[in-house]
């Protein structure tokens, strides 16, 4: 039985697509057959982050409208086995998604895949609702600043009231908090909310903290999920996150300011 995980946040630009790409790749690396579905119809980005923008022929909306089948549309990742991408349409808008259409596609994917990762668009409108409606679990991506935290709070409310699980009275969506762009130095200076602050406000289980890192931008620009950059702190933090998502206990890292060594202090680091 496939597990449907939505990656959502409410606010834009917090790292939903980056996280979807990284977590999806991580799950595939761990041997699980995974598909990442781009729900951001009209603002297609996932293909860029995954580095497969030139291989998009058909898209999600084509499949919903019956203009193409899944086999034609799914893009197989060239680097990682077991990893597929279902790209969004760039020329349509979010109203092209229907609940029945999305359900049909997800059901079809569920027969083949272990994990279906839904990369949600920003906002709380139909596109985002569609992405979270069928989810079993949710990764709520949040930046350590007040507006992102408030929007996440709003989307967590939506998860517990507007999803299929809520409507059918099933056990609620399992919510995970993923804190991204975390900068311990700025937290120490009081310029940024700390992990504890955010946890206290949102009151859901923390699944990972991704440090603010140059590696993320580099990865996006080169179309390589940051989790594949195993030397980078962000890549390692995503690897930890995926392990926690799979139920393993892994201690949090990158939460404190790194002490600069003597040499670094003299020569600059």
Residue span 27-56 as binding mask against another protein, x where in contact by CB under 8 A, dash where not = ------------------------------
d(CA 231, CA 10): 30
- Is residue 153 near another protein by the rule CB under 8 A? yes
- Is residue 140 near another protein by the rule CB under 8 A? no
- In the bound state with another protein, the residue whose beta carbon lies nearer, of 2 and 140, is 140
Q: How far is the CB of 149 from another protein (least distance, A)?
A: 8
Tokens encoding 119: 């990369």
- Is residue 205 near another protein by the rule CB under 8 A? no
Taking CB under 8 A as the binding criterion, the range among 71-79, 96-104, 150-158, 188-196 that sits at the site for another protein is 150-158
Instruction: Please select the residue that binds another protein; options are 72, 98, 160, 222, rule is CB under 8 A.
Output: 160
- Burial of 214: CB neighbours in 10 Å, binned 0-12, 13-18, 19+: exposed
Taking CB under 8 A as the binding criterion, the range among 30-38, 39-47, 157-165, 239-247 that sits at the site for another protein is 157-165
Instruction: Please select the residue that binds another protein; options are 106, 156, 207, 219, rule is CB under 8 A.
Output: 156
Taking CB under 8 A as the binding criterion, the range among 14-22, 76-84, 147-155, 238-246 that sits at the site for another protein is 147-155
Instruction: Please select the residue that binds another protein; options are 38, 40, 151, 240, rule is CB under 8 A.
Output: 151
- In the bound state with another protein, the residue whose beta carbon lies nearer, of 201 and 215, is 201
Instruction: Please select the residue that binds another protein; options are 33, 55, 104, 150, rule is CB under 8 A.
Output: 150
- # residues contacting another protein (CB under 8 A): 13
Question: Between residue 91 and residue 130, which ones bind another protein under the rule CB under 8 A?
Answer: 124
Residues that bind another protein (CB under 8 A): 124, 150-151, 153-154, 156-158, 160-161, 200-201, 203
């Amino acid at each position: 039985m496939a597990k449907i995980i939505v990656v959502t946040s409410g606010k834009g630009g917090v790292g939903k697509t980056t996280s979807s790409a990284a977590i999806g790749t991580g799950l595939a690396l761990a041997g699980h057959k995974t598909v990442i579905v781009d729900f951001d119809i009209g603002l297609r980005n996932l293909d860029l982050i995954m580095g497969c923008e030139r291989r998009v022929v058909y898209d999600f909306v084509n499949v919903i409208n019956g203009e193409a089948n899944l086999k034609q549309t799914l893009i197989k990742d060239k680097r990682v086995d077991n990893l597929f991408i279902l790209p969004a349409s760039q020329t349509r808008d979010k109203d092209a998604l229907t609940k029945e259409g999305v359900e049909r596609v997800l059901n079809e994917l569920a027969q083949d895949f272990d994990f279906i990762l839904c990369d949600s668009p920003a906002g709380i409108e139909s596109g985002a609702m569609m992405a979270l409606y069928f989810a079993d679990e949710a990764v709520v991506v949040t930046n350590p600043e007040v507006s992102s935290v408030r929007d996440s709070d709003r989307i967590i409310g939506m998860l517990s009231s507007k999803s299929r699980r809520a409507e059918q009275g099933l056990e609620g969506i399992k919510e995970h908090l993923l804190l991204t762009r975390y900068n311990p130095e700025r937290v120490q200076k009081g310029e940024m909310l700390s992990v504890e602050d955010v946890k206290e406000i949102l009151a859901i289980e923390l699944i990972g903290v991704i440090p603010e890192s140059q590696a993320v931008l580099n990865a996006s620009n080169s179309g390589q999920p940051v989790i594949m950059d195993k030397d980078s702190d962000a890549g390692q933090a995503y690897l930890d996150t995926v392990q926690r998502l799979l139920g393993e206990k892994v201690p949090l890292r990158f939460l404190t300011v790194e002490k600069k060594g003597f040499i670094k202090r003299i020569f600059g680091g």
